Amino acid sequence: MSCDPERVTGLVDEALEPDDRAALAEHLEACPGCRQQAEEERALRARLRELPPAVLPAGLEFSVRRRLRGSGGRRLVRWLLPVAATLALATFWGRAFAPFVAWELALEHRHCWGQPQLPAKVFSNDPAAVAAFFERRGTPVPVLPDRAGGLELIGGRPCRLIDRGVAHLYYGNQDKRLSVFVVPGSVRLDRSLRTKRGGESIALLRVGGSVVGLVSDDSASVEAFSRALTVSVARYDQ
Amino acid sequence: MTREERFEAEALPLLRSLYGVAYRLTRNAHDAEDLVQETYLKAYRAFDRFTPGTSIRSWLFTILYRLRTDAFRKAGRSVKTQELTGEGPGVPPPQAALASGGEDLQRALDALPEVFRTAVLLRDIEDLSYQEIAEVLRVPIGTVMSRIHRGRALLRESLAERKP
C-alpha cells in the first residue's frame, strides 16, 4: 500500500477499523517516513496534554450560577428576583457604599492585569481615541491625561460593575501598572476616598459628572494620577 | 432534585474544561468568559432536550462551538474559510523540534487557524473521540481525521521553524 498520512493520524488516535489498522501497521513496519510521522504525532499529543490549563477567573462560577438562577426557577421567584435586585441596587447605588465600589474595582484591576495578555478592546495611547471608543458605547469619559507619573495610556475595555457599564483604562510602563475606572452616575462620595485592599492602593475621586477610580499596586502612581486628574479637571472647568 | 439542581450538578463541574476550550479558541479571557456564560445559559434552557446517559461534556462543547461559529457568522466571517489556507507541510520536521519548551507549543497552537485548532484541542487536550468531535463540529469522521492531521502537521512544522 502507498503512504496515507491522514490515516496515520487515525492510527495514532486508534480511530481506524480493525482491518484498516492491521494493514496500516504492516505498512509502517516497512515505511520509515510514516513511522516517523506516527512517533512525532504521539510525542506532540503528549506535549499538548501537558500544557498548563487556562486559569479559571475567580468570579466565573459565581456569575454562571447567578445567571442560571436569573433565567429559570419558579414563576414567583422569576418575578420576585428582578424586583429584589432592583431594590438592592437602588439601595446600593443610592447609599453609595464607596468602600465596596473600591473593592470591586481592585478585583477587576487584578483580574485584567493578571491575564497573560491585557484584555483591552481598544489599544491606543491617544486619550481622545480611547474616549471616542467609550463614547460610542455609551460611557462618557472625562478629560484624561495621556500620561502621568511616568505611566502611559495603553488602552481600555468596557466592563460591568454590578449593573453599570464602566470604562476601564489601562496605564503602564515597564514595571508599574495602573487602572483608571470611570463609573457613570452617582456614587455618594463627599470629596474623595483613599483606601488599600491587599497590595493595591485605591482612590475614588469625583471628576465632572462621574466617579473615577484609580487602582495600582504603586501608591505613588495613584497619587500622581489624582493630581493629574484634579489639574485636568480644573482646566476643563475654566 | 429540581431541574435546576440536576443541571448544576451535572454541568457545572465541567466549567474548567469549558473555559479552557473557550480561552484557547478566543485567546482572550474576557471573550472566553462571555462564551462560557452564554453556553451555560443556552444549555440550561435546552436541558430538556439533553438525552440522559449520553456525554454532557460533548453536548456542552457542541453548544459552545455553535455559539462561537454563530458569532463568526454575525461578524461576517466564517471559520471554514480558514480551511482553505495553505496545503499543509510537505516535509515532516525533525523529532528534535518537539523537545522544546511549552511556550513554543502554546504560541504555535494559538497561531493555528481556528478550524484546525478546534479539532486538535478537542482531541489532544480534551481527549474526545473522533465520533464525539464529529458530533460537536457536525462534520463527517473523515473530516475530523483530516483536520486533526492538518492541525498537528502545521504544529510540527511551526515548532520545527522556531527551533534554531
Give pLDDT tens digits for A127-174.
Answer: 888 888 888 887 888 878 888 889 999 999 988 776 677 899 999 988
Find chain A residues with C-beta within 8 A of B11's C-beta.
none
Question: At A111, is the pLDDT very low, low, confident or very high (cuts 50, 70, 90)?
Answer: confident
**Which of B4, B128, B146 to mutate against chain A (most A CBs within 10 Å)?**
B4
pLDDT tens per residue across span A32-77: 999 999 999 999 999 999 888 888 887 888 888 878 876 654 444 4
CB contact under 8 A, B4 and A64: no
Distance CA A169, CA B29 (A): 17
Within 8 A of A157 by CB-CB distance, chain B residues are 30
**For the domain bounded by B3-75, which CATH number is listed?**
1.10.1740.10
Question: Nearest CB to B8: which of A36, A44, A68?
Answer: A68
Q: Searching chain A, which residue's CA lies closest to the CA of residue B159? A: A44
Q: B86 pLDDT band (50/70/90 cuts)?
A: very low
Which of A67-71, A128-132, B34-38, B144-148 is modeled with the greatest confidence?
B144-148
Give how far Cα B56 sits from Cα of A80, A125, A185, B6, B118, Å: 31, 45, 43, 12, 18
Which of B33, B41, B152 has its CB closest to that of A71?
Answer: B41
Residue bearing cell 499538548: A48
d(CA A8, CA B151): 14
pLDDT score recorded for residue B83: 36
Within 8 A of B90 by CB-CB distance, chain A residues are none
Which amino acid is present at B18? L
Report the largest interatomic distance among the alpha carbons of chain B, rounded to a whole angstrom: 59
Coil/strand/helix, residue A178 = strand
Amino acid sitting at position A202: I
List the single residue in B with minimal CA-CA distance to A39.
B95
**Is B141 within 8 Å of A15 when comparing Cβ atoms?**
yes
Contacts of residue B30 in chain A, CB cutoff 8 Å?
Answer: 119, 121, 157
- Phi, psi of A55, rounded to the nearest 5 degrees: -80, 125
Q: How far apart are alpha carbons A168 and B103 in whole angstroms?
A: 29
Please list the helix, strand and coil fractions of chain A in percent, rounded to the nearest 5, in that order.
Answer: 50, 20, 30
Asked if residue A158 lies in contact with residue A137, where contact means CB atoms within 8 angstroms, the answer is: yes
Q: B98–A115: do the CB atoms touch at under 8 Å?
A: no
Q: How far is B3 from chain A (nearest CA, A)?
A: 9
Residue B18: which H helix or E strand, with range? Answer: helix B15-26
In this prediction, residue B28 has a pLDDT band, given cuts at 50, 70 and 90, of: confident
Instruction: Kindly determine whether residue B4 and residue A73, on different chains, have CB atoms separated by under 8 Å.
Output: yes
Q: How far is A234 from chain B (nearest CA, A)?
A: 35
Q: What is the pLDDT of residue A21?
A: 93
Q: Which residues of A touch B146 (CB under 8 A)?
A: 6
Domain spans, chain B: 3-75, 95-162
Cβ-based neighbour number of residue B126 at 10 Å: 20
**Cβ–Cβ under 8 Å, residues A5 and A34:** yes
Q: What is the pTM of this model?
A: 0.56
B95-162 has CATH 1.10.10.10 classification:
yes
Beta carbons of A48 and B125 less than 8 Å apart: yes
Percent of chain A past pLDDT 70, that is, above it, reads 80
B36/A60 CB distance under 8 A: yes
Kindly state the DSSP code that residue B29 receives in the 8-state scheme.
Answer: H
State the DSSP H helix or E strand holding residue A182, giving kind and residue range, or none if neither. Answer: strand A177-183
Cβ atoms of A165 and A178 within 8 Å: the answer is no
Q: Which residue of A has its CA nearest to B40?
A: A64
Size of interface A-B (CB pairs under 8 A): 115
- At A186, is the pLDDT very low, low, confident or very high (cuts 50, 70, 90)? low
What value does the mean pLDDT take over residues A176-202?
Answer: 80
Distances (CA, A) of A227 to A93, A187, A234, B72: 26, 21, 11, 44
CA distances for B150 relative to B10, B37, B87, B131, angstroms = 34, 31, 9, 18
Q: Do domains B3-75 and B95-162 have the same CATH topology?
A: no
Residue type, B66: R
